[in-house]
Amino acid sequence: MPKLTNEASAEDIGLLAAVGEMFDEVDPVPPDVVRAGYAAFTWRTIDAELAELAEDSRLAGAGSVRGADTRLLTFEAPSVNVVVEVTEIGDRRKLVGQLIPACSDTLRIEHPAGATTVAVDEQGLFSAEALPAGPARVALTTPGGGAVVTSWVTV
């Protein structure tokens, strides 16, 4: 039985390269997934407070009264909750949401194509139209200067 090591031989490297080429041809990684991976690292903020996904109407089951093209997401953090209604409009998305409590004048909706900055009113309401389908998250700064970001979710 050959001795196991952490080092790859030239033969191993050649075999792995051939397998990689085969997968690139037969089952390539979709471009949206590659962009989402880069975006996740591009937009990461170590010091930001994370608002985690607490509810997703898509996961709630058949009892939902909302249409199939509408989804309700709730993110929770110690300082703020972010509620977002996502409406599918073809390959674009409309997001209407609220910060509870209202704690910022603007926020960013980050996605692989960049970031969309939207105004937040005194009740914490915000809206964004024609966003690309795919991974997205909300990022904002509180009056005290603290950063809050939601977890990434596919919209």
Closest CA to 80 of 49, 38, 56: 49
What is the residue range of 135's domain? 46-154
In percent, the amount of the chain with pLDDT more than 90 equals 57
Encode pLDDT of 24-34 as tens digits: 889 888 888 87
Average pLDDT of the segment spanning 10-37? 84
Q: Mean of the per-residue pLDDT values for the chain?
A: 87
Whether 58 maps to a domain, the answer reads yes
Contact 155, 95 (CB under 8 A): yes
| Number of domains within the chain | 1
DSSP bridge partners of 119:
106
Q: Domain containing 57 — which CATH number?
A: 2.60.40.10
Q: How many CB atoms lie within 10 A of CB 71?
A: 21
Contact 128, 95 (CB under 8 A): yes
The model's pTM is 0.69
Whether 134 maps to a domain, the answer reads yes
Encode pLDDT of 63-119 as tens digits: 455 556 899 999 999 999 999 999 999 999 999 999 999 999 999 999 988 999 999
Q: How far apart are CA 114 and CA 41, in angstroms?
A: 13
Closest CA to 53 of 139, 137, 115, 114: 137
Average pLDDT of the segment spanning 126-130? 97
Whether 17 maps to a domain, the answer reads no
